[in-house]
């Protein structure tokens, strides 16, 4: 059953990526693949936060967290598009943009995951402490 939930969340994740990508594409007319970068960075933050906060709180059923994290956010973000876009940039001799794209994905992604991790952990601890006192 959880597979169906992951699949349905996967539909929503893939569609959100596609339509958000199209919307960003109408506003951004540069060789730098801003749409994928933003999608991936947002997803990194949300997945870490979900994992460190929502899933540890036990307020929603575990299959729901799996659907949201693995299904939705997992499908929303993409590694394959990132790789292909990098190759296309290198192929068209946009070396500096390719390098900037890889570095901003690498460090930006790590930073956003770390931030989601820390913020999730902070609010989880704060909430459980409060419950402990009361």
Sign of CA dihedral 73, 74, 75, 76: positive
Q: Which of 93, 95, 70 is nearest to 13 (CA)?
A: 70
Binding track over 82-111 against other proteins, x by CB under 8 A = xxx-xx--xx----------x--xx--xx-
The span from the CA of 17 to the CA of 21, in Å, is 6
The maximal CA–CA distance of the chain, rounded, in angstroms, is: 62
Least distance in Å: CB of 132 to other proteins?
23
Tell me: does residue 35 bind other proteins (CB under 8 A).
no
Window contacting other proteins (CB under 8 A); options: 24-32, 57-65, 67-75, 125-133 = 67-75
Confirm if 109 and 40 have CB atoms less than 8 A apart.
yes
Q: Note the residues at the interface with other proteins (CB under 8 A).
A: 3, 6-15, 17-18, 40, 43-44, 46-48, 51, 66, 70-71, 73-84, 86-87, 90-91, 102, 105-106, 109-110, 112-114, 117
């Amino acid at each position: 059953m959880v597979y169906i939930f992951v699949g349905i969340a996967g539909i929503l994740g893939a569609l959100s990526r596609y339509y958000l990508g199209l919307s960003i594409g109408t506003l951004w007319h540069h060789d730098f693949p801003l749409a994928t970068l933003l999608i991936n960075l947002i997803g990194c933050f949300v997945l870490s936060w979900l994992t460190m906060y929502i899933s540890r709180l036990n307020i929603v059923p575990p299959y729901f967290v799996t659907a949201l994290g693995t299904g939705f956010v997992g499908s929303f973000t993409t590694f394959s598009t990132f790789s292909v876009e990098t190759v296309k940039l290198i192929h068209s001799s946009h070396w500096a943009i390719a390098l900037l794209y890889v570095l901003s994905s690498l460090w930006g992604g790590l930073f956003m995951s770390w931030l989601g991790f820390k913020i999730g952990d902070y609010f989880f601890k704060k909430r459980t402490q409060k419950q402990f006192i009361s």
